[in-house]
Structure formats: C-alpha cells, structure tokens
Structure 1
Amino acid sequence: MQFIAKNMQTNLSCMIFRNAMNKTLRLFLLMTLLFISPVLRAQQTSFSVIPEPVYLKKGNGSVNIYAVTTIAYPGELKASGELLNEAIRPFTGGLLAVNTSIRPGTNQIRLELDSASVKEKEGYHLLVKDDQILIKGHDQAGVFYGIQSLMQLWSPAAKNVLRLEKGEIRDYPRFNYRGMHLDVGRHMYSVAFLKKFIDLLSVYKFNIFHWHLTEDQGWRIEIKRYPKLQSVSAWRNGTIIGHKKEAPHTFDGQKYGGYYTQDQIREVVRYAASKYVNILPEIEMPGHALAALTAYPQLGCTGGPYQTAQFWGVFDDVFCAGNEEVYQFMEDVLDEVVGLFPYAYVHIGGDECPKLKWKHCAKCQKKIKENGLKDEHELQGYFMKRMEKYLNSKNRKAVGWDEVLEGGVSKNTTIMNWRGEQSGIAAAKEKYEVIMTPENMLYFDYYQSLDKNEPVAAGNYTPLSKVYGYEPIPDSLSPEQAAYIKGVQGGIWTEYMKDEKHLEYMVFPRALALSEIAWSGKKEKNYPWFLEKLRHHRNFLNRMKVNYYPYFDEITSEIKPGTNGNPLLTLKTTLPKAQIRYTLDGSVPNLKSKLYQGPVLLNRSMVLNAGLFVGNKRSGRIFNQAYLQHSGIQKKISLAHAPAGKYNFPAGLLLNGIEGHHRFNDSQWLGFSGKDLEATIDLGALTPVSQIGINVFHYPWQRMWAPKKLSFLVSVDGKEFKEVYTGGNFDLNGINKVRAKFPLVKVRYLKIIGENIGRVPVGGYGEGEKAWLMADEIIIN
C-alpha cells in the first residue's frame, strides 16, 4: 500500500475515504455536530480553538451560513467537503449546493489545496470574511485540520442559520509526531470505543495512535500462524482486586480476555486513516511475555509451565534470548503485523526485561559466548538489533522504549524515553530520533488530584497543570540536537482502568493539554487561557458522552514557613470569580463560613475544609487538609543521606505538620534508595519531650520496605546522644505509625535513625534491587 509514511503527510485517495465514509460518517458527524454553539455560546465574540493556533486574529462582525450558501472544493477534497457539508446540514435545513470548479463566489465556503501559500506540512489557512469562508491546506491533512478548527468556531444564530465571527487563522503543527498510547493488554476495549477514541484524537489534531497490543496479562492481536495466542494467551483466569501494593493480594477468579481479529484491526486502521491518524502497533519483546509463554512454553528459558498474569507488575519469565525458535516466532508475528499496519514504524518494546532467567539459562549463556557479548544487557541488545534488522528488511523502522539504548541499537531505531527526560536528552545527543514520553509528566494512569475520593490509580500525581507545563525540548539541547526530538506522546496504561468510562476519566482533559504541547508553538501556550477554553469545551465533551475529569479548577494548597514557628496554609483556585470559604473544625463549609482572604495561620491541630462558591452555589468537591501541631514544627533538620529519585524532597517536610497519604504521591514522603534514614533535629533550645513518632511505609509490592531497625536518640549538647527507643518488625502492610513514649526529658537535639534493609530479599518483588525506605512526619511532643 502507498499509505506508508513517516510523518502522516500522506495523501489518502478519495477512494479510501469513500470506503471508510459509509461506515464512519454517522459517528463522526455526531461528534462534529455536537461541537457547536454550546462550546462558544458564552463567548461568541472570541475565537476559541484547542490546540491554540500559531496565528489567530479576530475580525469585526460575523458572517452567516444559509441554505443558499454554496460549498466548493476540487475532486481530491471530495471526502473532506462531504464531511463538512453533512456537518452543516442540520443547521441550514439541507445540504449546501456543491461547486467542484472551485471558482470564487459570494456566500461560499471554499476548500483548496495550496502548498505554495501554506508552506508547512499539515498546515492550513482559515479565513472568514464578508462573503466567503476559505480553508487552504498544504495537503489534505491540512484541510482536514482547518475543518476541525472551523467547527470549533461556529454557532447557530437562528433557525437554519449558522454564524461565524470574522477572523483569520494560520496554523501548522510544532511536531510531526503527536501521539497517544493505549494499552489494551491489561484491559481491553471495544472496537466502537477505539473509533470514538480516534475521533477525539483527530479533533485535537493528534496524528498517531500507539496501540499496545501484547502484555503479560493478555495477547490482543490475532496471529493466524499461532492459534494458541488466541485460544490461550488472550485469556487470564482472574484479575487482582484493588491496588497491587495492598496485601494480601486477592483476585476475582473471573476469566477475562479477548483479542482483535485481523478483520477488526483492518477496520480500525481504515477508520484511523480517514481521520489522518496513523496506528503504531506494539509487540512487546523480550519482556512482558507471560501471556505468550503460557501458550508456547518452549519459548521461555525454563520451559514452564507458565500462566497468563493476573497481577500487575514485572515478571522474571521472558522470551529466551538464546533460543533460535524465539526469533523465528517473533519474525512470524512481525510478518503478520506489517501486513495489517501500513505505518512505516513498528514498536518492539524492549522495556522492563529482567535478566535473572537469562543468567541461569544455558542457551542464553551460550548465545552470549558465541557472539562475544559482555553480559545479559548486551544479550538484550543483540535480541533487539536482530528484530530491528528484520523489520528493516520488511521496509519498516523500529521504535523502542529507552532501555533499548543499553544494548546499542542502531540509529534507525526511534526512542521513547518513558523513564524520564534525561534518557531522551541523552538519545538526542547521540543523534537518535526521540519521542518524548516521560512518565512523570505524560502518563495518564497517574492520579490527577490528591483528593482522597479519587479512584485507584497507578500512584504518582500528574495534574492538568503539570501536563500543560511540560516542555519537550529541554534548554540543555543545542538547536542541532533539538531537531532529533520528533514529537511527544501521552501514555495510557490500563491496570486500573477496567472500563471505558474510567479510561475517559483519566485521559480527558489531560489529553487536551497534551494537544497544545504537541501542536501549538511554545510561545502560544497560555495556561489561564487554555482553562478558559476548556471550560467551554466541557459542553462538547458532555455531548460526546465523554466521562471526563471535571475538577480541574479545584482548590489546591501550599504550606509555607510563617512567623513564631507556625506555618501558613495558602489556598488557590483557577476558577474566575469564585470565592473560597472554609472551616477549621472539620465541618462542611457553606455560604456563612469564613471567607478566605489570605494565608491561614496553623497554630494548633485542626482539620481545614474549604469549598468553592460561585454566586450562591458551591462548585466542585470539598478540599480537606488535616494539620498536626507538635514541638518539631519548622525546626532545623539535617539528613546524613539525601533522599533519592522522585522522593527527593527537602528535609523540612518531615516537620511540617502534614502526614502523608498512603498513596505516597502527595510530596510528603521522603524516600531513601538503599540508604539509611538518619535525621538530626535542632529544637533551638532545651525543650521538654516525652514522645517521639514517625510514619514509615511497608509496601513490599512497591519495593518499599520498613526499616529493619528504628532508633530515637536525644541530646542536650548535640554531641552525646542517649537512646530512648529502638524497635523493629514494622510489618503492617501500609503506613506504620511508630510512637514511642518515655519519661519526660529536657533536650535540644534529636536523632532519628532508620536502617534500610539494603536490597529486596530473595523471593521479594524486585529481588536484588535497592529497597526504598519511606519516611513521613516526625512528631515530637
């Protein structure tokens, strides 16, 4: 097929559009017809487009579209013209007359291809003036995106009349690759939902759907040569209940699974093509292979038996890199994959591949020796390079997660840097093409709010503002190096997204924020204006029946040092004209509650509840924050070892009166990777103390282990310390609140020492890796 392209600049033939039209038109028209006046009714005098255009200028006055308006387009734009005409029909009483000669006329909508005046690929020029609405595109995709913007701008003025404000937009994408990933291995979604998902992507000008098709928990693509992938690998015998960190684990015992037939896949590919969305298929290798190994155990190092995973995580059993049958299997699978997906790239995984089984596998060790490889890491590199070369022989290029860099894949492989920005920076400096996908910024399976009523999610905290604030081209890259950053992508991992409604709740509106990162220029980004647009777009999302997250204007807080040793709590909201009212006794605030006018002094233990009020109505959820007053608040504290990774926060958080949540994503927990906790506190003067406490985590399934020993020591002079408590066995799964009482003493200095177990013990999740020691509020009374 000719629809093999790098950057989605393909000119799809009208025939492809016509073939897709009958099946898809109704769903697409429903979407576009809903995308009208409710979006802008409250703001008819302004343009409001997501993602923000490169250039936008509002004119004076408006123009109307009537039943007598004509629509003109050349033959190669017939499909786009028909889509637009059908979208207009309900508001004009019928289809507009069509002029395929595209001669300029009055009261006319014209669609044109003009690569001379619109020089950027996928770019468009939209002009609304006295007697004409003009959309020029550099290519067919550009015209399509111009139509998407046009439909965000119109509103019905009267019966059978559509109105548009006069103005002009010149627009083109910042990045060629604007992607959204979806994992269907953990949980699977219907073809109808996938089409709805693609519709939403196209509205916001995404052009890549990364379809993650295989996992430990299920194989979702029909491979005719290996029928057991459908009959066995596509199914699991149960699913874990709740979050994987909770123990003991319980399972629902319900068989779960399914797969997409090759006919269904072709249907989705055709549908996506009609919306200028390419599909990037992913087949995981050599890790995340348990489902495949369950059907074909000879492909593993031990020969099994194996069982499709019912639990979320990383598993030691992977494809045997020393077994030639594995390479034949993967080549056979890829043969069928490239026959289904015309896109020029195939994602071959490469992430989270434990090497434990390879170390003890005679075949793997033989392969290492025969090929002069240094170790198991280079063995993975050998595996990935073989698969990359095979894809190249099929006129395809490979994409891999950033771990593939460890094995030295060729520069033909595109890198997705899921483990953080630094791996993407390093890859770009080495002249690899990079798609920026850092999990801490662009993974939408993370919590989007710290509200305790949020549904279970993966763990970290990525609110809408954090997503919008992400800049994919770091300042540390030179212009030459920055050119290797080809785009951005959001990640949707579905361990905790059991159904389509939950998935929508996690993805929208964060995907809209990502659309402005991917399409709009850096200088066009403006978060307050984005929120204003988003408030109007809620009407569209409602009518599309998208179960989006609605609390993006909710109250947030910040604690800062105050006077006389007492901190100050600042409350904020992005909702215009809203009042914040609060209580300090744990009651629900109402219109008679105290009006927030400045930081709240925290000088005693309290529970603060706050609500947003617009007019006489409360809006959104109640904000809740408990504060614990004690003698250590805002005192000096130092650490012998720095916290690590995403838990590297200032030591002062251990003495701020806020106890961290069990979700450990609230920036209150300090984490020490393989290191001990050793904190020294200076109370500033001799102070009577009879109780010391601290909160520590014990979540082995998160590689978080309580200290094997915990000691509290006190001192008058900071030189000689006396132990007042020592203990161990903090094995309660979750938060262990350690509280030690002892006879009253007057002291100035305290030491809190928690001994890390060092490495995860044999048999533990993440065996042999550094263990995390997680510590929260130190309480002194």
Structure 2
Amino acid sequence: MTGHLLGRAALAATLLVAAPAAAAPLAAVLPVPAAVTFGTGTFRVENGATIVVPGRDAAARNAAARAIEIVARTRGLRLRVAEGGAGAIRFVRAGKATAGDEHYRLDVTPAGIRITAASDAGLFYGAMTLAQLLAPDARLGDAVAVPALAIDDRPRFAWRGVMLDVARHMQPVAAIERVIDMMAQHKLNKLQLHLTDDQGWRIEIKRYPELTRKGAWRASTTPNDGAPPGRYGGFYTQEQLRALVAYAAARAVTIVPEIDLPGHAQAAIAAYPEIGVLGDRPPVSGDWGINPYLFGTDTRNLTFVRNVLDEVMAIFPSPYIHVGGDEALKDQWQASAAVQAQRRALGIADEQRLQSWFIGQLGDHLARHGRRLIGWDEILEGGLPASASVMSWRGEAGAIEAANMGHDVVLSPGPVLYLDNLQSARDDEPPGRLKIQTLADVYAYDPLPAAIAPARAQHVLGAQANLWAEYMVTPEQREHALFPRLAALAEMAWSPKAARDWPAFLTRLDPQLDRYRRQGIAAADSAFAVDFAVPGGVGAALRARRVTVALTRQVAYGTIRYTTDGSAPTATSPAYATPLTVAAGSVIRATTIAPDGRALAAPRRFDTAPPALLTRTSAALPPCTTTPGILLRLPLSPDATAGPAHSMNIFDSCWRYPDAPLDQLSAISVTVGRLPRNFALRQPQREQVVWRYNPTSFGTLLVHAGDCAGAVLAALPLPDPASAPNRFTLDAPLASTTAQADLCLTIAPPVGGPLYGIDTVRLTPKEPR
C-alpha cells in the first residue's frame, strides 16, 4: 500500500476533543488536517517576517519560497527566507524520510511557528498549510494573529490526482502551470496529461517527427492563433515538457503522461499510416467519440510504440506511465488477415485477449526501465497483465475487480469524478456534459468501495478527477470546471474519512474562494449562485400581474440577499426568507453573502416583465426524455472559444417548454444554432439517432401542444445552410388554444444533415383587451 490509512478510532477521538475550539483556526485550512490540538494564545506574523530554513537545503528553501509567493498574493504580506540562524518561523528536518512519506507537523505557540518533516514533500505540504493560515480571511495587507495549535498531518491516500485532456484542445503551458499551482495548494500530487488521441498528438517525439508535423493538426473553420489557416492544434516540445515536469516537481506534483493505445490512435496513424492495421491514411479526426483506428500488433508496430515510450520516459520521471487502453473497437483487428494470423499463431482466443497481450508487451517494456504501467479499466478485459495498475472510470467495478485480484487501483469513476459534467443546470454554465455533478456530489464520494475486501484495501492508491475537454476550449472554461470542485476532491483524498464534515468544509471553502480570486483563478460560483422560480406558474402571474418568486441556491452557507430597485445586493440588502411577491415588471437581483459581508457569487438577475417570464434559454428547456442519448451543452463550433451554448440530446433534437400558458400567447420566436454533426458514434448508437419526417427542403422546427404527438401549433422551415448564418431566428404565430400545457419543440433536418440546437425560445403574450 503506497497510501496512508490512519487509525480511524484514534483520529476520531482527537477531532472530537478538538472540535469545540477548532472552528476559527481551521476555518482557513483545506483540506482539513488529519489531527489538530489547540493551545492558548497566538503568534503574530507581520509584514517582513522571516522564514528560516536549514542551510544548503534546496527543497526546504523551495517550500518556503512557494509559501511566500502565495502569501504575497493572497494576503499582501511580504515575507522573506533565510538559511540557518535563529528565527521565529522555522522549517526543520527531523527523522528519516521513507518512500511516499508526506507527513509533517506544524506547531504554533506564542513564541513562533515550526514546521517539521523528514521528507521534501512533508516540508512542502507544511508550507502550504502555513500559507493558508496566513490568509485566513479577506483582509489584505494586515498582520495575521495565528492561533496556537499543533497539526500532525499526513494523507489518507497516496494518489490524489487530476487528469487534463490537452489532446482535444491544447492548452498553453502557462495555463497548465496555474492548475499545478492550485493542485499544490490543495495537496493534490498527480497530474495526468492526456497527450494523444484521435483529435491530436501533442508530444514531440524526435524519432518520429510526423507525429507532430501532421498528427498535431486537424482541419477547423475556427481561427487558431499561430496556426496555418484552416488548421487547429499544436504540440509541446520536449524542452517545454521537461520544464513543466520541473515546475510541477518543485510543487510536489508528479506528471503522469498518457499515450493512448491501442485505440484512440487516429492522429498517430494520420502521421504514419504503416503503424495502423488496414494501411489507409485517415485525417486527424475532428469528430468526438470513439473512432475505429487501432495500432497494429506486429513486431514493427510494437517497436514503434516502444520507441515512443522510450522518449516519453526520458521526459517524464514518473514511476507510472499511462497507456490508455480504453474504447478500442476491435473491428479493424477482426477485419485484418495479418492480425488474425498473428492472433492464431500466438494461441490467443479472441481480440480482447489480444489487447491484453499487447498491453502486457508494453508493461514488460516499461518494467525493464523501472516503470509501472497503468491504464483505464478496459485493460481488465481479456486478462490483466501482472504488473498493471487500473484506473477505474466506468464506475467502481473495474477497481473492485482489480483490487480483489491484487492489483493497485485508482478510483476515477464517472460521472461523479468527471468534471466535464456541469455543476448546475444554469444557463450561464459553459459547454460540457449534462449529468450535473455539484460540489456536494464530489464531496460526498468516497474512493474506498465497500466491495473491496478489507485485506485488499491497501491496493486502493487513491482518487483522481478527470477533465475531458471535447467541449472545453479555453483555460477559463477549464478552471470553472475544476474549481472549487478540486477542493472537495482534495479533502476526500487527503483527509481521514471521519474528519469530513460538509458544513465545516463550506466554512473552510469560504476563504479559499477569496484566495482563488486573488490568484486570478476563474473558479465557478455555481454552488452559491441564486436561482429563481415562479411557484405559482407563469400563467397565473401574467393574469394577476403580480409575480411570486422563490430564491434558492445549492448550498446552505451564507445568506441570500436581494434588491428590487436595480442596485447590486450587498451585506445590508434585505435577507431572503420566504418567496417574494412583486409587481410584474420588477427586476430582482440576488446573491449569497458570506458571514464577513463578501459576495460569494456574482449577482444573478430575474426580470418579471411578461416577455422575460415567457423567455427560456436552452438550459431551461429539458431534452425530451423518451429517447436514450448523449446529453451535452455544445458551442456553435467544436473549437469556438466564446458564444452561445446549446443544451441538447445529440440523438434526438427534441425539447420541452414546461407549463406554457397557451391561452395567453400569440406568437413564438426561436433562436437556433446550426452545429456540425461531428460525433463518431458506434453502430448501436447510430441506430438510436432519431430522424423525423421533414416536410421542407432544409429541415423544419415543429411546435406541438402537450407531448410531441400533440397538435402542431407552428411549423417553421429552416433556412438553406449554404446562405444562412449558423445562428438565426425563426418567427411564427401560434395557433389559438385554451389549454395550459407543455410545448414540445422538435427539429427535423434532412437525414444525415447538420445538428440543430435551440438557443432561446421567446413566447409573445396576446395584447391585453
């Protein structure tokens, strides 16, 4: 076991004793430490204070420098570091470090602060806790009175990871460094870089230059800074990656490279078609999903992959090398006479076992170089190579099976640890997947499944959150997806299970949100953002010309405060208690205010004028639920960095407008986006795509009363894609009816035609008589 499982009974007792005094000093520390005791008095840290580190101890000096940098940005205090001599704030080496040791002690007395550790990582994490203690609130530039306490801390799990997908949309090195900075402050220690996929090869391999000359670029209509016209992509040089490895190591983060194979190989085969199976040269894919291209399995192809891995190992000193292994459709292997002949000659029963053999060959190669293979849970299929570790993403089943077999595992299950899932159903969420995973959902997950036998629990290395990036182009979109949910991951993976406490976590998150802001991190405020609902229904409100509005948010922390006079809500604005009733046309602005008077979210606005009440964006139009599919929130083009996003089921262009007051309506206006249908669907999925009867040349938007078999209230032909922009508005009168019911909106393009998404639906009320 490379993780550290603390004695739960002893820890619980420590925390229980400490709890009455813990709230104030621990309000700044996240993740919560393993054990804390409290003393009497405080130690005051002024501007210009010195941190003393042992002489000629580069790691201690680095840890102090990182803490000083953070405190300067989050508190405005300018500290300095000195080697040797006396000082009130000291870093001390004590004991003998062992492999995987991340333990530290932090002691505060009225005489000073002392951080003690045997290992480099321990000193670093002590420094990160110190930086949080020195920025406990939103004050800037003030001295800090640190309460007397003793922290004895070490992680619950050794693997506390984040995966960044830079293959679909390459990110600037500086953006990755910002994520590493935040990982370090959260005591997260593994950064997996997903460097290759069907849509791009992002790592320079000097022996095979075509991998980046051709494989790093795909066709695109979206302008790409620095790229040739019509091409999108890029790659990292080996020098850039070595510098990134050093940057991460200075922050106690190990970068784990992922080279995805035998599937997700289209970009590589676009560069070198001879490493594929059937000999053709595909383009680098612009389609999301599972493409069919596989690496070949003969000696030439294995040599190619081994040579690639040799250069990868020369860049990344990580003990683990990730080889993917996921979603490898076996059609090409099945269709290849050469592959089938090789399979039979090896005495391998089927293609699943052939993949196991293939992965095993790579595992042996890595082992000869002192490295360990890790892959997604599909590497279990056909038999798991003896040296392999498993990252379980399709739920927990893969981790349970592998751990009970004696293999090390990392829990990374979707959807809860897939941070490309949105954090709320709000219309201001950026693109992503529509299986909402809130901050609370992530915090509640525990990465030690009960189905793993107690004697095998030591094989659980830890947990990892994955950020796939098909729908996330910019660094800001990724930071929105990562933070603050990575704070929840950190407490889940570092802190003892007995110490986890959701209300207390929110208290600790409060100052962390301010630390994000001062470090320029575009963290989401989704958990604290105010949502609005009309409990009595819009129809009743229109008739009464009075609107009752309920205000809610995801978490019970802070106070909802609101205004109706057009001003931004502040700490002195009225506190929300019960639904508000206002005259139609009033505008409510609301936010969540922290106990210290800071706004925890940007103010949200709710207009009660009839046209606004009758307007729905796509986020408020639930996809029809009768059809299976893939629910996504998509931009207008795959590489768009801004613009509208469309919530939809890509298998069925069908939406519901709930509770439309049909008896009060005269017309409908729908803003529509035309999107490329760039999804590589497997055969069973293709059969699930709904193609409706289309009565016009280029497609039709139909508006039905009630369900989608109801009366047609309006039929709106779509314009010619050759001449119309990819965002347009359709207007039509609505047939008269006296019912109040849902509307069903369907879009029927020609079979095989583009994908259409609804941006906004606006219903026009009848003129008052």
**How many Å separate the matches in 1 of 2:80 and 2:125?**
24
Q: What letter matches 1:276 in structure 2? A: A
Cα 1:479–1:454 change in 2 (3 A) is same
Deviation at 1:616, TM superposition (A): 12
Q: 1:112 aligned to 2:112?
A: no
Deviation at 1:296, TM superposition (A): 0.6
Q: What letter matches 1:308 in structure 2? A: V
Deviation at 1:255, TM superposition (A): 2.1
Partner of 1:654: none
Decide which of 386, 393, 408 is 1:433's aligned counterpart: 408
**How many Å separate the matches in 2 of 1:205 and 1:537?**
14
Deviation at 1:398, TM superposition (A): 0.8
Q: 1:361 aligned to 2:336?
A: yes
Q: What letter matches 2:590 in structure 1? A: G
Contact 2:528 2:600 in 1 (8 A): no
Per-residue CA deviation, residues 145-173 of structure 1 (Å, 9 max, x unaligned), is: 11111121126999997643221111110
Decide which of 117, 128, 139 is 1:148's aligned counterpart: 128
Deviation at 1:292, TM superposition (A): 1.0
Partner of 2:119: 139
Partner of 2:185: 203
Partner of 2:257: 281
Structure 1 segment 304-703 matched on structure 2, within 5 A: 304-309=280-285, 311-556=286-531, 571-572=552-553, 574-579=556-561, 596-598=576-578, 611-612=590-591, 614=593, 620-622=602-604
**How many Å separate the matches in 2 of 1:554 and 1:68?**
38
Cα 1:550–1:729 change in 2 (3 A) is closer
Cα 1:53–1:371 change in 2 (3 A) is same
**How many Å separate the matches in 2 of 1:673 and 1:142?**
50
**How many Å separate the matches in 2 of 1:441 and 1:559?**
30
Cα 1:447–1:363 change in 2 (3 A) is same
Partner of 2:689: 705
Partner of 1:682: none
**How many Å separate the matches in 2 of 1:466 and 1:485?**
21
Contact 1:468 1:517 in 2 (8 A): yes
Cα 1:440–1:303 change in 2 (3 A) is same
Please identify, of 223-232 and 189-198, the stretch whose mean Cα deviation from structure 2 is larger: 189-198
Deviation at 1:232, TM superposition (A): 1.7
Contact 1:47 1:58 in 2 (8 A): no
Deviation at 1:399, TM superposition (A): 0.7
Deviation at 1:59, TM superposition (A): 3.1
Contact 2:390 2:408 in 1 (8 A): yes
Contact 2:3 2:156 in 1 (8 A): no
**How many Å separate the matches in 1 of 2:552 and 2:207?**
60
Per-residue CA deviation, residues 748-781 of structure 1 (Å, 9 max, x unaligned), is: xxxx9x9xxxxxx99999xxxxxxxxxxxxxxxx
Contact 2:561 2:573 in 1 (8 A): no
Partner of 1:216: 198
**How many Å separate the matches in 2 of 1:618 and 1:7?**
35
Partner of 1:188: 170
Deviation at 1:560, TM superposition (A): 10
Secondary structure, aligned partner of 2:415: helix
Q: What letter matches 1:111 in structure 2? A: V
Deviation at 1:471, TM superposition (A): 1.6
TM-score of the aligned structures, taking structure 2 as reference length: 0.70
Cα 1:199–1:314 change in 2 (3 A) is same
Gaps of 5+ in 2: 5-22, 542-547, 615-623, 632-643, 655-672, 682-687, 695-708, 720-725, 756-769
Contact 2:569 2:603 in 1 (8 A): no
Deviation at 1:360, TM superposition (A): 2.1
Contact 1:217 1:291 in 2 (8 A): yes
Q: 1:270 aligned to 2:246?
A: yes
Partner of 2:767: none
Deviation at 1:47, TM superposition (A): 4.8
Secondary structure, aligned partner of 1:415: strand
Contact 2:64 2:81 in 1 (8 A): no
Cα 1:598–1:424 change in 2 (3 A) is farther
**How many Å separate the matches in 2 of 1:272 and 1:347?**
18
**How many Å separate the matches in 1 of 2:345 and 2:536?**
63
Cα 1:225–1:662 change in 2 (3 A) is closer
Deviation at 1:306, TM superposition (A): 1.5
Cα 1:317–1:165 change in 2 (3 A) is same
Cα 1:70–1:181 change in 2 (3 A) is closer
Q: What letter matches 1:137 in structure 2? A: A
Cα 1:82–1:622 change in 2 (3 A) is closer
**How many Å separate the matches in 2 of 1:474 and 1:574?**
28
Cα 1:106–1:500 change in 2 (3 A) is closer
Decide which of 196, 210, 214 is 1:232's aligned counterpart: 214
Q: 1:79 aligned to 2:55?
A: no
Deviation at 1:122, TM superposition (A): 0.7
Cα 1:600–1:466 change in 2 (3 A) is farther
Cα 1:301–1:731 change in 2 (3 A) is farther
Gaps of 5+ in 1: 9-42, 100-104, 243-250, 629-638, 648-660, 678-696, 711-721, 747-751, 755-760, 766-781
Per-residue CA deviation, residues 107-160 of structure 1 (Å, 9 max, x unaligned), is: 4524122359x9993111110113232222242211211111112112699999
Contact 2:219 2:232 in 1 (8 A): yes
Identity of aligned residues (%): 29
Partner of 1:15: none
Cα 1:745–1:372 change in 2 (3 A) is farther
Cα 1:620–1:392 change in 2 (3 A) is same
Secondary structure, aligned partner of 2:214: helix
Contact 1:209 1:279 in 2 (8 A): yes
Cα 1:612–1:486 change in 2 (3 A) is same
Decide which of 111, 126, 131 is 2:106's aligned counterpart: 126
Cα 1:600–1:112 change in 2 (3 A) is same
Aligned CA-pair RMSD: 5.8
Per-residue CA deviation, residues 509-539 of structure 1 (Å, 9 max, x unaligned), is: 2222211111111122223332333232233
Decide which of 267, 291, 300 is 1:291's aligned counterpart: 267
Secondary structure, aligned partner of 2:514: helix
TM-score of the aligned structures, taking structure 1 as reference length: 0.69
Partner of 2:41: 61
Q: What letter matches 1:210 in structure 2? A: Q
Secondary structure, aligned partner of 1:523: helix
Q: 1:261 aligned to 2:237?
A: yes
Deviation at 1:394, TM superposition (A): 2.4
How many residue pairs get aligned? The number is 679
Per-residue CA deviation, residues 656-713 of structure 1 (Å, 9 max, x unaligned), is: xxxxx9955xxxx9x9999xx9xxxxxxxxxxxxxxxxxxx99976666337699xxx
Please identify, of 176-185 and 228-237, the stretch whose mean Cα deviation from structure 2 is larger: 228-237
Please identify, of 274-283 and 619-628, the stretch whose mean Cα deviation from structure 2 is larger: 619-628
Secondary structure, aligned partner of 1:301: coil
Contact 1:239 1:252 in 2 (8 A): no
Deviation at 1:332, TM superposition (A): 1.1
Q: What letter matches 1:224 in structure 2? A: K
Please identify, of 373-382 and 394-403, the stretch whose mean Cα deviation from structure 2 is larger: 373-382
Decide which of 151, 157, 168 is 1:175's aligned counterpart: 157
Secondary structure, aligned partner of 2:64: helix
